[in-house]
């Protein structure tokens, strides 16, 4: 901290002015430009782990693999954005993560908790720290709200770091990683006919495939039925699977 005042001589007696306001000057430079962040899809097979303490990043590697893992976990995955720690000896006081939205502009996502990411980095004070800062964001938030991103688009982000001297230059954005996934599109009505000899109804429907599957492999279908007289009432759910046909017996 610095302050200053001036003095002159009135009748030969030094007479100083009032002190100026204090000025804080910090030596050094802003942080170096961060490396390209990693954007991955959360591994939903581990439903108990905290993403801030357990590294369960799993980049999108294949639609069939991802569908089978999600079927086991029965959990909607989140998007994990991770970036490298600040260099040794660099005191970071804040991070900023920006994501390219559907309008083509970089914006900060309210669900990316950069304060928690910084705390996670600072908590690992070992001689050779390995924990990287990261934040977890719900997939739904990318195609709803202000981001309005289309199915299949890469989730592109940049990172800036701040120390007492100011902000760093934004990192280069990632060109690979997690993609936006949505709920499937509405299906066409099923087709079928009554089998009079067995009192069965055989139904078929068109298998949901890209691009109507929301960007992720379909893991099951939900089939319901009711009588015409009860169309506005409760429907009965029939068990189904990934097959494109099902046969069931009508109620007496």
pLDDT digits (tens, 9 = 90+) for 98-115: 999 988 999 999 999 999
Per-residue tokens: 125: 């004070």
**Per-residue pLDDT tens digits for 166-219:** 999 999 999 888 888 877 778 888 888 888 788 788 888 888 777 777 777 777
Give the residue, 8 or 84, on which the prediction is more confident.
Answer: 84
Query: Hey, what are 227's tokens?
Result: 């009588």
Contact 139, 79 (CB under 8 A): yes
pLDDT digits (tens, 9 = 90+) for 47-93: 555 555 544 545 544 433 344 444 444 456 788 899 988 776 678 99
pLDDT category at 233 given cuts 50, 70, 90 is confident
Do 103 and 119 meet the contact criterion of CB atoms below 8 Å apart?
no
The DSSP H or E segment spanning 174 is none
Query: What's the chain's average pLDDT?
Result: 76
Q: What mean pLDDT comes out for the span 39-45? A: 74
Q: What pLDDT, on a 0 to 100 scale, did the predictor assign at position 109?
A: 92
Torsion angle of the four alpha carbons 162, 107, 79, 144, in this order, in degrees rounded to the nearest 10: 160
Buried b (16+ CB within 10 A) or exposed e, 216-232: bbbeebebeeeeeeeee
Domain ranges of the chain: 38-167, 191-249
Task: State both tokens at 215.
Answer: 């960007």
pLDDT of the residue at 48? 54
Instruction: Centre a 10 Å sphere on the Cβ of residue 90 and count the other Cβ atoms it contains.
Output: 13
Q: What is the pLDDT of residue 201?
A: 80
Characterize 69-84 residue by residue with b for buried, 16 or more Cβ atoms within 10 angstroms of its Cβ, and e for exposed. bbeeeeeebbbbbbbb
Q: What is the pTM of this model?
A: 0.65
Q: How confident is the model at residue 24 (pLDDT cuts 50, 70, 90)?
A: low
What is the sign, positive or negative, of the torsion defined by CA atoms of 60, 187, 147, 42? negative
Please report the pLDDT score of residue 21 as a whole number. Answer: 75
Beta bridge partners of 154: 179
Taking 90 as the threshold, does the pLDDT of residue 97 lie above it?
yes
């Amino acid at each position: 901290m610095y302050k200053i005042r001036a003095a002159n001589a009135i009748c030969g007696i030094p007479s100083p002015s009032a002190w100026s306001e204090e000025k804080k000057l910090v030596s050094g430079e802003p942080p170096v430009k961060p490396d390209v962040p990693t954007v991955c899809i959360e591994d939903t097979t581990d439903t108990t782990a905290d993403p801030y303490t357990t590294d369960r990043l799993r980049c999108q590697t294949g639609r069939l693999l991802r569908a089978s893992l999600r079927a086991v976990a029965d959990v909607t995955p989140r998007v994990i954005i991770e970036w490298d720690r600040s260099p040794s000896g660099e005191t970071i006081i804040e991070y900023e993560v920006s994501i390219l939205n559907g309008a083509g502009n970089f914006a900060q996502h309210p669900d990316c908790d950069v304060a928690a990411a910084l705390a996670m980095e600072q908590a690992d004070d070992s001689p050779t720290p390995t924990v990287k800062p990261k934040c977890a964001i719900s997939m739904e938030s990318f195609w709803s709200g202000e981001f309005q991103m289309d199915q299949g688009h890469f989730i592109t982000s940049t990172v800036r770091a701040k120390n007492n001297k100011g902000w760093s230059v934004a990192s280069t954005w990632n060109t690979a990683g997690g993609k936006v996934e949505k709920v499937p599109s509405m299906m066409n009505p099923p087709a079928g006919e009554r089998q009079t000899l067995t009192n069965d109804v055989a139904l078929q429907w068109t298998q949901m495939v890209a691009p109507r599957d929301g960007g992720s492999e379909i893991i099951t279908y939900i089939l319901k039925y009711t009588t015409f007289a009860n169309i506005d009432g409760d429907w009965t759910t029939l068990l189904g699977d990934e097959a494109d046909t099902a046969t069931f017996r009508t109620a007496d």
